[in-house]
Amino acid sequence: MGTTAADVLKVNMGARPSAMGGAYVAVADDINSTFFNPAGLARLVPSWTAYFTHYQQLLDIRYDTFLVMNKRNDKQCLGGGVIYRHMPEIDNGNGYPPVQVRDIVVIFSGAHRLGDVKSDKNIKRVGMNLKIINSVLDVWSANTVACDLGFQVVDFFRRFDFGFSVQNLGPPMKYIEAREPLPLFIRGGIAVQQQVSTVYTCLALDVTKPADSGYKFDYGLETRFYKDRVFLRTGNSHEAGVVRGGPDNLFENFTLGVGFVRRERDFNIQIDISYNPADYVATIEETFMVSLTYERK
């Protein structure tokens, strides 16, 4: 397995997609699209959307994300935000000052719907992120830029959605003399939606090829109840050639999540929570991610 720099870009941000196992490239229809397929940003409701996510990993490594998007009209969406990863200073106990480790990713996003806005099937959208990345390790720092490209087709045969994205295209990062490539991802996915009475269900499958590892298969399920105000989610993620397993963990291959929305005439407020059990490969601790979204209609 190879190595890459800026591993802050490897984390599946957003409680909703995280709860669905990361199967989101075709589902992308909200501000979480920024992290999987920027084309989905063109599906936001017109006006402003603000978003915050907090995620705490093993060793007290924390991710805080803030985004703001503006749906300018029925076709275009522009915005941006920042991802900040930080952790407590590391005291090596050797008399030297503690070591600081942090990463900052500044994101500028844009998305556009193609074709006639009056069409209600085979709707095509494209999107792009431009990212400026700064990584600090003790007295050393590295900077680079990267971009993500996304494409999405929605309501194909009035039921299927397709998505494709390429993430983290850019020059390598350089610490002192060593150069390390960015974690390139190629994602493709399909989602199928079904509504029976007042219950809406979405099933999703993503196939991802990271540049430094084997194929990854993500499966996700989302069900909405009570006039789209309550959400239940689950997902599964499997990497080819990797055997997971650990003691006393019945859900080691699954993720779970819930969401709640308060809908008012002029705005929506949504809170999403995901539960990621220890997989004994990437982490030995159970973790939670919380996201808060505010939409101004």
Q: Position of tokens 């099933």?
A: 203
Query: Shortest CA distance to 161 belongs to which of 121, 217, 129?
Result: 121
DSSP secondary structure letter of residue 97:
P
Q: What is the pLDDT along the chain (297 residues), one digit of tens a residue?
A: 447 778 889 888 999 999 999 999 999 999 999 999 999 999 998 789 999 999 987 778 899 999 999 998 888 999 999 999 988 877 766 667 777 889 999 999 999 999 877 766 778 999 999 999 999 887 788 999 999 999 999 887 778 999 999 999 999 988 777 788 999 999 999 999 888 888 889 999 999 999 888 899 999 999 998 888 999 999 998 887 665 555 444 456 789 999 999 999 899 999 999 998 755 445 556 788 999 999 998
Q: Are 31 and 129 in contact, with CB atoms under 8 Å apart? A: no
Residues in the chain: 297
Whole-Å CA distances, 172 to 169, 177, 214, 226: 9, 12, 21, 48
pTM score, whole prediction? 0.89
Residue type for 297, please? Answer: K
